[in-house]
Structure 1
Amino acid sequence: MNIETPHDSGPQGIPAATIIIFRNAPSGGAPEVLMTVRSRNMSFAGGMAVFPGGRVDPEDFALAEQVAADHGLSPDEAAHQIAAVRETIEETGLALGLAGTIDAERAAAARAMLAEIGALAPVLQAFDWRLDLAQITPFARWFPKNENIPRVYDTRFYLADLGTGAVDVSIDHAENTQLFWTSAQGALDAAERGEIKLIFPTRRNLERLALFSSFAEARAQAEAIPVKTIMPQIVEQDGKPWLTILADAGYPVTGELLETVARG
């Protein structure tokens, strides 16, 4: 096995946050997660099925400086969790990671305000909400800096639970074209049938999520395995290049033939 000399696309990636939202399946069985299909004209992962999320904005870092200590977090980690909360409202209309009087009407109004001003702090003040970041569990961190791709994100993944899931979600139509609930295995099966497309990190995360029969199981594993930064490497196996990840980060599948990998 020979490790390919990494192509370093830069010392830092674009900071980003993604949230994996669970709900109990209406008909029972494996829990469902919320996924979105990105607009084909997006420069990153256009046309791909992904979890809601996006880059961490300067306003997220500014708010984090004010509140990080209250949540026992570093400002950097708090900024990523704040971005996950903000992106969830923007892309799905769901208000997670927040406390206060929250209902569908207020969530919709907050989403409209957020679309207009682009920062979470004024929304919290206007609706008398406060951050409740204990609702969010760190799950993974992916930074494909060794891959030859045009835009490299350093993305932290989080888990959150919607419980019964009896809440309407709606697409933002700006960056995404579809929102849908699916079990993790259901998403993998849909990809095999060609109904959706998955980039490498999303596929690996779905395989990991398919291990769990409940949100509680997923959170327990996430809390038991320290988050390590996953930087996929190209290695040669049996004369063919494979894209591989860490073997001790909780993932049941740690490699894929490079020729079959879909990238952002």
Structure 2
Amino acid sequence: MSGGPGREAPAIVAPGSVPIREAATVALIRDARVGGGVEVFLQHRVATMQFAAGMSVFPGGGVEPRDYHGTRPWRGPGPAWWAERFGIDTDRAAAAVRGVARELFEETGVLLAEPEGASGSGAGVGGLAATAPAGPPGPDERRALDAGEGDLDSLLAAHGLVLAAHLLRPWDRWTTPVGPPRRYDTLFFVAALPAGVDPDGGTTEARATEWIRADDAAQAGILGRLGMLRPTLDVLSDLAGAADVAEVLATPRAIAPGGN
């Protein structure tokens, strides 16, 4: 049946032909203020999003071509280490680490970065010379990055900073099943909230944000009080049993090849 005079009928896309896009997301955690356990930062998405509309999610998004263009060394395990954990190639692993750090900064203002030459775990990786930091990136630079201008490497270089990949941990991998009009192969990371910073609700993709105990969030997801996709609920359920952030970061993870 035609779409009417002067109109074309909408194309019918076979479910199996929907391209699978690369994505990365991060559960940002901190020690619970009362009673032990961990709290996680959740975004409650607006209802107009093309994917996971209205759902409660972790910060993150699509890995973009600009995330593949980075060349600056970071502090922490190299691309080969991440590639082995997630079961992917090194180029994609490097892009995912940059991409998830970029998305976290764009959506929450939390930048996983340290001054070049700073002492600590992995200091001096890649032979980076110590330079005088130019101060943290400002709101205008954050908005520009979110709008697709520039890339994380260039932003960090301009401020004498290096990506602190050692603050991240690989956690899981999920692929959207056949059916939805958008599908993603998503790498899930966990990161402890760096000292002295706090995420905000500055992203237009969320109607609200909150810190919530992982066990309370998992229970709300199970009971339907919070809408969430299965991967989010699964990660929250894993985090719900942890005594504190240190236990989460020390927990070895076996990630299924090819994702769940």
Give the alignment's TM-score, normalised by structure 2. Answer: 0.74
> In the alignment, does 2:58 pair up with 1:51?
yes
For residues 64-84 of structure 1, what are the alpha-carbon distances to aligned partners after superposition, in whole Å with 9 as ceiling and x for unaligned? x56489952122101001111
Instruction: Note if contact 2:201-2:209 (Cα within 8 Å) is conserved in structure 1.
Output: yes
Post-superposition CA distance 1:145-187 (Å, at most 9, x none): x4312111000011111166x5332223421221111111111
Q: CA RMSD in A?
A: 2.8
- Structure 2 residue matching 1:9: 3-state secondary structure: helix
1:138 aligns with 2:170: yes
The yes-or-no answer on 1:72 pairing with 2:101 is no
Asked if the contact 1:22–1:161 (Cα under 8 Å) also holds between the matched residues in 2, the reply is yes
One-letter amino acid matched to 2:181: P
Instruction: Tell me which residue corresponds to 1:16.
Output: 23
- Do 1:61 and 1:76's aligned partners in 2 also have CA atoms closer than 8 Å? yes
* Equivalent-residue separation in structure 2 for 1:46 and 1:11 (angstroms): 19
The one-letter code of the counterpart of 1:215 is V
**Cα separation, 2, equivalents of 1:92 and 1:147:** 31
2:98 maps to what in 1?
82
TM-score of the two chains, using structure 1 as the length reference: 0.73
2:215 to 177, 181, 185: 185
Q: Which runs of 5+ in 2 are unaligned?
A: 1-13, 80-89, 116-132
| C-alpha distance after superposition, 1:42-96 (max 9, x if no partner) | 0100100000000001000111x56489952122101001111000000001112
4+ aligned runs moved over 6 Å, structure 1: none
Aligned CA distance change for structure 1 residues 59 and 163 (closer, same or farther; 3 Å): closer
Question: Contact (CA 8 Å) 1:139, 1:227: kept in 2 or not?
Answer: no
2:100 paired with 1:93:
no
The verdict on how the C-alpha distance between 1:90 and 1:163 changes in structure 2, with shifts beyond 3 A counting, is: closer
User: Does the alignment pair 1:147 with 2:154?
Assistant: no
Identity %: 31
Provide the residue aligned with 1:229 in structure 2. 258
Tell me if structure 2 keeps the 8 A contact 1:48–1:197: yes
Letter matched to residue 134 of structure 1: H
Deviations 1:21-50 (A, max 9, x none): 111222342111111011110010010000
**Contact in 2 for aligned 1:68/1:78 (Cα 8 Å):** no
User: Residue 85 of structure 2 corresponds to which residue in structure 1?
Assistant: none
Bigger shift: residues 188-197 or 211-220: 188-197
Q: Give the partner amino acid of 2:205.
A: E
CA distance in 2, matches of 1:102, 1:195: 44
Question: Which whole-Å CA distance do the structure 2 matches of 1:122 and 1:193 have between them?
Answer: 44
Distance 2:219 2:52 in 1: 19
Matched residues in 1 for 2:21 and 2:214: separation?
Answer: 27
Q: Does 1:120 align with 2:152?
A: yes
Question: How far has the Cα of 1:108 moved from its partner?
Answer: 4.0
The amino acid across from 2:192 in the alignment is D
Deviation at 1:115, TM superposition (A): 3.1
Partner of 1:4: none
Equivalent pairs, count = 219
**Structure 1: unaligned runs, 5 residues or longer:** 1-6, 232-264
